[in-house]
Chain A
Amino acid sequence: MVHKAQEPSQPTTVTFYVLRTREVDMLDPASPQVKTISDIFNISLVIAALILALVTGLTVYNVVRFRSRSDDEEPKQTHGNVRLEIAWTLGPALIVAFLFILTLTGMTKAAPYEVPTLRESDVAAGTQSTLPSDVLLRGHQFWWEIRYPSANVVTANELHMPVGKRIRVQLESADVVHGVWFPQLAPQLEPVPGQITYMALESDRPGVYWGACSEFCGAEHVWMQLRGVVQTQADYDAWLRQQSQPAAPIPAPPASAATPPPSALLTPTAGDPGRGAQLFRQKTCISCHAINGTDAQGHAGPDLTHVASRSIIGAGVLDNTPTNMALWIANPQKVKPYNLMPNLLLSSQEVQDLASYMETLK
């Protein structure tokens, strides 16, 4: 089974992340926006609890106090009381007025978006121009394309950002409506096809935060997760520099190894990265994937220039370990059935070669 790779006998990156993030929990906010929402939520929760206690209390009192004792009891008939009615119309009115003020004050601080929202057709026609953004986040069925225009970095499913700095993310969709949600880091904002939305991100605590697509977007909606990696400015700059480098050149495969010995297990260490690099070209991988520094320039799938430096494969379906990478390449349709990468019917040696090539793309 595919999911063997997730079992705790193997040290996996998921356990690592869970230890780092402890819990995905909006009540443990890591950004000023979620902190604001969390505060508002807690106030409304107290009010909600009081209302519920009042209604439950009155109902239980009714049940206990006015339970019928005899069959021919005829209670006093009260048709209504206008004062009471006005009281319990005004009471809720005052409560919602208070909640509305809370909403009003919280909105500017918590807003996940920046105005304006643009139409892609207007941008294409030149009647509107895009705002300068730190990150471009584009939803695809079922993965996230992430670009850093200023540093010429392209990555996937892992959004890095510096701590303590507000960044602007240009949000787009390549196909259907998706939703960006980092429960601890940023409330939901949905990329809608045909429009460009600007998202404001900010975090006050370094860490790796769990995120997911929040608007149902098709068969593999669940495995359209992402990670928010908040780093110190120095770490972030170093990461950006490293990611902007082209892939390291791969030595040609040893000429002697014409027919490698068949291996029963998928162990990427048994593969040869040089042969993997050749296979990457021959097996049509390059028509969908780009690797900066090579002639692979496909754009249908995620950029693989630094794939080995990321933490997840298939937008969260597997952790990025060498074994899992081999599992994925062997048959992506088994691991994540409705994703767009086909089963290329590779031999196990080819899988190992490709996987070991991927491992060199740090």
Chain B
Amino acid sequence: MSDIALLPETTEALPRAATYDGLLRWVSTVDHKQIGILYIATSLFFFVVGGVEAFVMRLQLATPRNTLINPDAYNQLFTMHGTTMVFLAVMPFLIGFANYFVPLMIGARDIAFPRLNALSYWTLVLGGLVLYFSFLAGGAPNVGWYAYAPLSDRPYASLPGVDYWCLGLFIMGIGSVAAAINLIVTVATLRAPGMTFRRLPLFVWMSFVNSFLILFAMPVLNAAVIMLLIDRQLGAHFFNPAGGGSPLLWQHAFWTFGHPEVYIMILPGFGIITEVISVFSRKVPFGYAFLAASTVAIALLSFATWAHHMFAVGLGPAWELTFSATTMLIAIPTGVKIFNWIATMWGGSLRFTTAMLYATSFLVQFTIGGITGVMFAMVPVDWQTTNSYFLVAHLHYVLNGGSFWTILAGFYYWFPKMTGRVLDERLGKINFWLNFIGFNMTFFIQHILGLMGMPRRVATYPPLPGWGEMNLFSTIGVFFTAAALFVLLWNIFITLRRGKPAGNNPWGGWSLEWATTSPPPPHNFKQVPPIHSTRPLWDLAHSGDQGSGAGGQGPETAGAG
């Protein structure tokens, strides 16, 4: 243990103006772990809100010509559901994980700019409040989460909902850009001695690459929503053809942001999956360099695929073939990852904890979403199936069965580190199976509905043969998902009250976050273990003096299912 590197600074937390207790402590915190928890708690809250919106939508669609809610209310719900899930649930959840774990995993004491970090979080809260305030100010936006102009322009959306949408997204966008800069600088400058880029845990790699995506994509959205706001409030004509503007300009701008956004919502999740599969297979990630390199490839390509969202406007063969090709190319590095994860499991010693169950089913569900994605890259297929329920099914297999699944895997995996208690595994498994059944029941059948001609974003539908039955089946699935949510919330509640203590390393993880206490002290580490590979704790456990394990830092198997 002589080669343990001491951090150059004292073990005190970062200096701050004042320290408070209770609620004020959370409001005033600049600690990356507390801010990470705030991000995660906020996202969880908005997951529930967005889920309730989806639940009401599915109730409305349970039978043909249902009149449970009126069409305008339905349109508000799907707009808010999409906006909430993208900007207030999935994205901040992943940023929250990165906030909490990237500094820990690279052996840093905090994130590079702690106060900027607090600002990022509070702009998210402000943006969310501004967006949701629209419900009280004459109605939520009702133009869809991509708010196509000119439907979103003043003549067709005269109520202030879209203004709140623009402002809310703009405020959140500023916070996201700041968070991205913070993470980039943290990874670039605050790595512990020995933590080279080739030894970064893959979650760090993918969050790092992801931050560049946020940095380059969000400003495009911010510019676009401000242009829309200027159109609406100051009577400009950026998107109004009558004044020489172009509705397609909005589509180009939105999707230039929107397609990288899809990868913003999945790349950190890929990182989580890599960690979870590796730890619960008890194997090092297969093809570290390929996993990292394919992430970079995805990030670069994601900026050249946006117009595949616009095949139905008649762009002409040159554009369409170009974007078809780039979209197909991006499937290659994604496919590489799936096979790498399978290879990581191959020959391992697999332990099916709840986190691992989520990771394993992610592989199959994300493959479904990925393959239908390639089908959408085939221009003629896109012409027929875009804007149909086939698309709704595709995007939910990517974002719900994909991104959300990675979040749940990460949540079960890292909850012990964040709280010091292990989420009840029995309840966890009930939660998983309810979610698994609910999700696949709700969304798989929507592929078929789409092929049968059902367009998306319809507040109701005519009683054409089969449509009623399939929609009812889809709606029944949502009840399983709702039950799963209650089990999860109950599990969190009961575990926080009297859950099993986690110890430092309940899963036998190998990255640095497991080398410190659960939850970690304000300064994160007393000592950072020496880093000679991607798995410092494994090295430590296999360095000859296994038993002592540097104060209980060796892999433990308690709590493994």
Q: A92-B332, A96-B374 are in contact. Are A181 and B290 (CB under 8 A)?
A: no
Q: Are A37 and B381 in contact, with the CB atoms below 8 A?
A: yes
Q: Is the interface of A mostly helix, strand, loop or mixed?
A: mixed
- Cβ of B140 to closest chain A Cβ, rounded Å: 13
Q: How far is the CA of A6 from the CA of B343 in the complex (A)?
A: 56
Say whether A81 contacts B287, CB under 8 Å. yes
Please tell me which one of the listed residues A55, A80, A102, A197 contacts residue B287 in the complex, with CB atoms under 8 A apart: A80
A48 near B371 with CB under 8 A, answer: yes
| B71 to A, closest residue via Cβ | A219
**Do the beta carbons of A337 and B70 come within 8 Å of each other?**
yes
Could you say which of A66, A67, A93, A141 contacts B347, with CB atoms under 8 Å apart? A66
Q: Is B380 an interface residue (CB 8 A)?
A: yes
Docked complex Cα distance between A321 and B342 (Å): 60
The one of A67, A79, A117 that contacts B284, using a Cβ cutoff of 8 Å:
A79
Interface residue? A148 (CB, 8 A): no
Q: Which segment, of B117-125, B163-171, B323-331, faces chain A?
A: B323-331
Check if A71 sits within 8 Å of B560, measured CB to CB: yes
* A217 is an interface residue with CB less than 8 A from chain B: yes
- State whether B387 touches A26 (Cβ < 8 A): no
Q: Kindly state whether residue A314 has any CB partner on chain B within 8 Å.
A: no
Residues A100 and B284 in contact, CB atoms below 8 Å apart? no
User: Can you list, as one digit per residue, whether each of A64-85 has a CB less than 8 Å from chain B (1) or not (0)?
Assistant: 0011110111111111110011
Q: Check A190–B346 contact: CB distance below 8 A.
A: no
* Residues of the A chain whose Cβ atoms lie less than 8 Å from the Cβ of B194: none
Does A25 sit within 8 A of B, measured CB to CB? yes
| Interface bits B197-238 vs A (CB < 8 Å: 1, else 0) | 000000000000000000000000000000000000000000
Bound Cα distance A226, B316 (Å): 25
Is A181 within 8 A of B387, CB to CB? yes
Closest chain A residue to B79, Cβ basis: A216
B367 touches A100 (CB 8 A): no
Contacting pair A59 B379 (CB below 8 A):
no
A59 to B360, CA, bound (A): 7
Closest-by-CB residue of B relative to A38 is B384
Q: In the complex, what residues of A have CB within 8 A of residue B155's CB?
A: 175
Decide yes or no: A110 and B380 within 8 Å by CB, A55-B342, A78-B286, A79-B284 being known contacts. Answer: yes
Residue numbers in B under 8 Å from A338 (CB-CB): 71-72
Query: Cβ of A26 and Cβ of B374 under 8 Å apart?
Result: no
Q: Does residue A9 face the partner (Cβ distance < 8 Å to B)?
A: no
User: Which residues of A sit under 8 angstroms from B70, Cβ to Cβ?
Assistant: 337
Contact segment of A16-24, A259-267, A323-331: A16-24
Interface bits A207-246 vs B (CB < 8 Å: 1, else 0): 0001011111111111001000000000000000000000
Q: Would A78 and B347 count as touching, CB distance under 8 A?
A: yes
CA distance A183 to B448 in the complex (A): 13
B160 CB–A CB distance under 8 Å: no
A: number of interface residues (CB 8 Å): 99
Q: Which of B287, B360, B462, B466 contacts A63 (CB 8 A)?
A: B360
Cβ contact within 8 Å between B384 and A218: no
Residues of chain B lying within 8 A (CB to CB) of residue A134: none
Question: Which among B1-9, B244-252, B522-530 touches the partner chain?
Answer: B244-252
* Contacts between the two chains (Cβ within 8 Å), count: 293
Q: Is B65 an interface residue (CB 8 A)?
A: yes
B345 CB → nearest A CB, Å: 4
User: Is A3 in contact with B67, judged by CB distance below 8 angstroms?
Assistant: yes
CB distance from B116 to the nearest CB of A (A): 37
Binds A, one of B172-180, B413-421, B453-461, B511-519: B453-461
- Whether B288 is near chain A, meaning CB under 8 Å from some CB there, is yes
CA distance A66 to B320 in the complex (A): 45
A41 touches B453 (CB 8 A): no
Chain A residues with CB below 8 A from B347, complex form: 66, 75-76, 78
CB-CB under 8 A from A36, the residues of chain B are 380
Question: Is A80 a contact partner of B290 (Cβ separation < 8 A)?
Answer: yes
Q: A92-B336, A177-B247 are in contact. Are A85 and B453 (CB under 8 A)?
A: no
Q: How far is the CA of A241 from the CA of B239 in the complex (A)?
A: 41
Which residues in chain B, 364-417, are within 8 Å of chain A measured between CB atoms? 364, 367-368, 371-372, 374-375, 377-381, 383-388
Minimum CB–CB distance for B57 against chain A, Å: 13
Q: Is the CB of A192 within 8 A of B313?
A: yes
Interface contact B384-A100, CB-CB below 8 Å:
no
List residues of B whose CB falls within 8 A of some A CB.
65, 67, 70-72, 75, 142-144, 148, 150-151, 155-156, 241-242, 244-248, 281-284, 286-290, 312-314, 316-317, 320-321, 324-325, 328-329, 331-332, 335-336, 338-340, 342-343, 345-352, 360, 363-364, 367-368, 371-372, 374-375, 377-381, 383-388, 451-453, 455-466, 557, 560
Q: What are 23 A-B interface contacts by the 8 Å CB criterion?
A: A24-B453, A40-B381, A48-B371, A56-B364, A62-B360, A66-B346, A75-B283, A78-B286, A85-B336, A92-B332, A96-B332, A100-B328, A110-B380, A111-B380, A115-B316, A115-B317, A183-B452, A184-B453, A214-B387, A215-B312, A215-B387, A216-B151, A222-B459
Besides A106-B378, A176-B148, 15 other A-B contacts (C-beta < 8 A): A23-B466, A40-B378, A55-B364, A78-B284, A80-B289, A107-B317, A110-B383, A177-B313, A192-B247, A193-B241, A195-B241, A195-B248, A212-B453, A221-B71, A337-B71
Q: Which residues in A have some Cβ–Cβ distance to B below 8 Å?
A: 1, 3, 6, 14, 18, 22-27, 34, 36-37, 40-41, 44-45, 48, 51-52, 55-56, 58-59, 62-63, 66-69, 71-81, 84-85, 88-89, 91-93, 96, 99-100, 102-104, 106-108, 110-113, 115, 117, 120-121, 141, 175-177, 179, 181, 183-184, 187-190, 192-195, 197, 210, 212-222, 225, 316, 337-338
